[in-house]
Amino acid sequence: MQLDPLVKPRSVAIVGATDRGGPGRAVMESLGAIGFTGPIYPVNPKYPTVLNVKCYPSLTDLPEAPDIVVFSIRNPLIPEQMRLALKRGARAAIIYDSGFAELGADGAKLQEQIAGMAREAGMPVCGPNCMGILNPPARVTTYKQNIMDPAAIVGNVGIISQSGSVCIGLLSDLRRFGVSLSVSAGNEAVTRTVDYLEYLIDDPNTKVIATFTETVREPERYVAALDRAADAGKPVVVIKVGRTERTQRAITSHTGGLAGSSRVFSELLRAHRAIEVNDLDEMTEVLAVCQGKRWPHGRGISVITGSGGLAELILDNATAAGFDLPPLSKEERAEAESVIGRITGDGNPFDAWGNGNYAVNLPHAMSVVDKSERIHSICYCSDTSNDPVIGHPGRVYENVEMLTKAAGTSSKPYYLLSTRSGVMNRKQVDAMRQAGLVVIGGTRQGLGALDRMGRYAVGLKPERRIGAPPQARLADEVKGGRRTMNEYDAKRLLSAYGIPITREQRVATLAEATAAAQTIGYPVVLKAASDAIAHKTELGVVAVNLKNDDELARAFARINERLDTLKPRPADASFLVQEFVAGGVEVFAGVSRDPDFGLSLAFGMGGVAIEITRDFALRMLPLRHGDAEAMISETRGAALLGAVRGGQAADAKSLAACLYALADFVAHNAERIEEIDLNPIKVLPEGRGCVVVDALIVARPDAA
């Protein structure tokens, strides 16, 4: 669909315009204020003029087909007016009113009636339940708020929000950036976030895109748009709330439920190089950083202050948030101290007060960190505000001068950091902007923006190359509607892809079990194996650490009895005799399918606690280079794999190899996988590898 008539219409008809107020009048006034030069057609049978502009009794009376029709009327009237708009050849429409799909079945029906007409005619529609569209560079607006100062709005940020209030929020503070297009998309009955996103990626006025999204429609197209934006070097900054459109499906594996959260969406954003933020503060800081002449090329941040207290505060916050504040090297410290005097701490944050001669010390501190390869952005922390009533007024400009000078001989971006987000001095902001520099705010939000932009610049590791598939294929195993696959069969399949599994034998009788145990060697584990039993412990059909024939016989009888109590006893039930893996750290790996975004891999420490602690790492599949190692180290429980309490460190290397092998299995069988649960994997001491002791595969039906 062509969006031009919607986002930059050359003529505007306003149905329901009156002198008395409402969105229609606001839009007419704003069109005047913004300098719109095309024709404006108020439509209202009650008046000969609106705001002294000739008013038409009906859309059918207009002298030309308007680019856009703006409906400033209540929702029951809209279907008929939409019909007339299409009849008159209108090319786009805006519906402000609410009371549609967001209110339930009746509203949804009305919305679909209108949307159906528009779609059939190929007409883009913004809304319903929206604020409209503001296009400052094109000097046109259908945004239903009054515009006071159009010049102050123009800039390079494209906003797409499913919430009108978020548009209001972002537009309420335009001190550090302006807008190339602001879309309040509302219920998106016809035209959707992804349509606007695609438009903005190609829009030369737009340098960065800010989105507020409750529902992702057309996930595949959305993901492709994110990739295209990243390739175009346009950051897409995303606040996501709520869940995706499709409802949660039933989940068989225990760990499968973990990925059913918004975590998958966060991972998806990371995998497609969008920048996720949690709130408007964080978003505003990222948008501000994008206004700088230079962007950070990496994550290393140097913070320079004249205060030991602030240095500590920033260090605490930055450490907790995982920002990269590399300390000064020995040589850098020596060079710094030769001028500044003694420096406390590790030099990042860099308290450059020293001997108190800050006019010399601060620039020297900057020159030292500027040369460091590990530093990609440099902040000077100094607080001020609009109309300061206390302090040294000249300092505001001295700081700008100092930063301008430092940046002038550097290839790195420099920032003035205010410790509070949103508190800044307007004149200072403007002076900084003149020099291509940016004021950021908030020890978490402002520095967080540098970290996010640094990550964005670093990009992603390449995807792993996946070898040729082994003979074993999941598709062959799950013919005929087989859904869950028992541990034994699942392990055979997985081991063909290089996943280490326990030594084990499947048997039917006690005599066979005893013979198997003697071959494997005591102690052993005895379990029931059946496609009908996804979780064995709950049913009492697992017996571990059996030391001799006697113990095995008793366990066999017990499990056999338990199977008999199942109604009916599963026809495929057999027994599994398996080596007992003593010691090691229990971890899990789980694959699950999000109905919108596909397969992801979760990894965490084993045991039931995972569902409470939710301490797990997640990645979208396929994995990229380094993903498995990163997943292992980023869980809080990773410490358990290291040497604790005099124990030996676990074999993390073989664990990473196991995760990659699992990813390979998924890559070769993706279309038939719903869930996989390797729980637990036992990680043995270094050099002894890891072994999957339990596995469950849930197949995806054929037709899917």
Name which of 375 and 678 has its Cβ closer to ligand ADP.
Answer: 678
- Using CB under 6 A, which of 155, 500, 680, 689 touches ligand ADP? 680
Given a contact cutoff of 8 angstroms between Cβ atoms, the answer to whether 669 and 658 are in contact is no
- Kindly state the smallest distance separating residue 533's Cβ from ligand ADP, in Å: 7
Name which of 136 and 500 has its Cβ closer to ligand ADP.
Answer: 500
- Kindly state the smallest distance separating residue 542's Cβ from Mg ion, in Å: 8
Count CB atoms within 10 A of the CB of residue 495.
18
Residue 92 φ/ψ, nearest 5 degrees: -160, 165
Site for ligand ADP contains 208 (CB under 6 A): no
Site for ligand ADP contains 421 (CB under 6 A): no
Given a contact cutoff of 8 angstroms between Cβ atoms, the answer to whether 23 and 68 are in contact is no
Closest CA to 532 of 483, 478, 490, 576: 483
Residue 542 interacting entry, from ligand ADP, Mg ion, none, C-beta within 5 to 8 Å by type: ligand ADP
- Using CB under 6 A, which of 68, 501, 581, 599 touches ligand ADP? 581
Tell me the three state secondary structure of residue 627: helix
Name which of 135 and 679 has its Cβ closer to Mg ion.
Answer: 679
Site for Mg ion contains 487 (CB under 5 A): no
Q: Which amino acid is at 204?
A: P
- Kindly state the smallest distance separating residue 243's Cβ from Mg ion, in Å: 28
Site for ligand ADP contains 552 (CB under 6 A): no
Given a contact cutoff of 8 angstroms between Cβ atoms, the answer to whether 329 and 215 are in contact is no
Which residue's CB atom is positioned nearest to Mg ion?
A: 694
Q: Which residues contact 11 (CB under 8 A, 6 or more apart)?
A: 38, 39, 40, 41, 64, 66, 67, 68
Give me the long-range contacts of 42-47 (CB less than 8 A, separation at least 24).
42/13, 42/14, 42/17, 43/13, 43/14, 43/15, 43/16, 43/17, 44/15, 44/16, 44/17, 44/18, 46/18, 47/18, 47/19
- Using CB under 6 A, which of 272, 374, 412, 536 touches ligand ADP? 536
Residue 449 interacting entry, from Mg ion, ligand ADP, none, C-beta within 5 to 8 Å by type: none
Site for ligand ADP contains 694 (CB under 6 A): yes
Name which of 190 and 524 has its Cβ closer to ligand ADP.
Answer: 524
Size, binding site for ligand ADP by CB under 6 A? 16
Give the binding range for ligand ADP (CB under 6 A) out of 214-222, 309-317, 347-355, 573-581: 573-581
Site for ligand ADP contains 9 (CB under 6 A): no
Residue 649 interacting entry, from ligand ADP, Mg ion, none, C-beta within 5 to 8 Å by type: none
Given a contact cutoff of 8 angstroms between Cβ atoms, the answer to whether 97 and 41 are in contact is no
Distance (Å, rounded) from C-alpha 347 to C-alpha 330? 10
Name which of 168 and 251 has its Cβ closer to ligand ADP.
Answer: 251
Q: What does the longest C-alpha to C-alpha distance in the chain come to?
A: 101
- Using CB under 6 A, which of 40, 94, 525, 697 touches ligand ADP? 525
Residue 81 interacting entry, from Mg ion, ligand ADP, none, C-beta within 5 to 8 Å by type: none
- Kindly state the smallest distance separating residue 333's Cβ from ligand ADP, in Å: 50
Distance (Å, rounded) from C-alpha 610 to C-alpha 613? 5
Give the binding range for ligand ADP (CB under 6 A) out of 192-200, 354-362, 536-544, 614-622: 536-544
Site for ligand ADP contains 532 (CB under 6 A): no
Residue 581 interacting entry, from Mg ion, ligand ADP, none, C-beta within 5 to 8 Å by type: ligand ADP
Site for Mg ion contains 252 (CB under 5 A): no
- Kindly state the smallest distance separating residue 527's Cβ from Mg ion, in Å: 10
Task: Give, as one character, the DSSP assignment of residue 315.
Answer: H
Beta bridge partners of 305: 351
* Cα Rg of the chain (Å, integer): 32
Given a contact cutoff of 8 angstroms between Cβ atoms, the answer to whether 243 and 594 are in contact is no
Site residues for Mg ion, 670-689, by CB under 5 A, read 679
Given a contact cutoff of 8 angstroms between Cβ atoms, the answer to whether 189 and 127 are in contact is yes
- Kindly state the smallest distance separating residue 576's Cβ from ligand ADP, in Å: 9
Closest CA to 411 of 304, 301, 296, 332: 296
Give the C-alpha distances (Å, rounded to integers) separating 308 from 28, 311, 332, 340: 55, 5, 19, 14
Give the binding range for ligand ADP (CB under 6 A) out of 134-142, 187-195, 351-359, 577-585: 577-585
Distance (Å, rounded) from C-alpha 587 to C-alpha 625? 21
Name which of 286 and 490 has its Cβ closer to Mg ion.
Answer: 490
- Using CB under 6 A, which of 251, 435, 532, 544 touches ligand ADP? 544
Residue 578 interacting entry, from Mg ion, ligand ADP, none, C-beta within 5 to 8 Å by type: ligand ADP
Distance (Å, rounded) from C-alpha 239 to C-alpha 262? 12
Name which of 439 and 585 has its Cβ closer to Mg ion.
Answer: 585
Residue 295 φ/ψ, nearest 5 degrees: -110, 155
Beta bridge partners of 236: 209
Name which of 90 and 581 has its Cβ closer to ligand ADP.
Answer: 581
Handedness of CA 36, 39, 45, 49 (dihedral sign): positive
- Using CB under 6 A, which of 502, 530, 592, 669 touches ligand ADP? 502
Name which of 327 and 523 has its Cβ closer to ligand ADP.
Answer: 523
Residue 537 interacting entry, from ligand ADP, Mg ion, none, C-beta within 5 to 8 Å by type: ligand ADP
**Which helix (H) or strand (E) covers residue 7, if one does?**
helix 4-7
Name which of 503 and 625 has its Cβ closer to ligand ADP.
Answer: 503
Name which of 189 and 585 has its Cβ closer to ligand ADP.
Answer: 585
Site for ligand ADP contains 286 (CB under 6 A): no
Site for Mg ion contains 486 (CB under 5 A): no
The angle at the Cα of 110, spanning 106 to 111, to the nearest 5 degrees, equals 115
Residue 381 interacting entry, from Mg ion, ligand ADP, none, C-beta within 5 to 8 Å by type: none
Q: Which residues contact 609 (CB under 8 A, 6 or more apart)?
A: none
Residue 580 interacting entry, from Mg ion, ligand ADP, none, C-beta within 5 to 8 Å by type: ligand ADP
Site for Mg ion contains 694 (CB under 5 A): yes
Give the binding range for ligand ADP (CB under 6 A) out of 128-136, 433-441, 460-468, 530-538: 530-538
Closest CA to 305 of 342, 339, 354: 354
Site for Mg ion contains 484 (CB under 5 A): no
Site for ligand ADP contains 175 (CB under 6 A): no
Distance (Å, rounded) from C-alpha 183 to C-alpha 449? 23
Give the C-alpha distances (Å, rounded to integers) separating 617 from 660, 675, 695, 698: 14, 16, 19, 21
Q: Which segments within 129-190 are labelled E, that is strand?
A: 132-135, 140-141, 154-161, 179-184
Closest CA to 220 of 176, 277, 272, 168: 272
Q: Which residues contact 596 (CB under 8 A, 6 or more apart)?
A: 216, 219, 244, 245, 246
The footprint of Mg ion (CB under 5 A) covers: 679, 694
The footprint of ligand ADP (CB under 6 A) covers: 502, 525, 527, 535-537, 542, 544, 578-581, 586, 680, 693-694
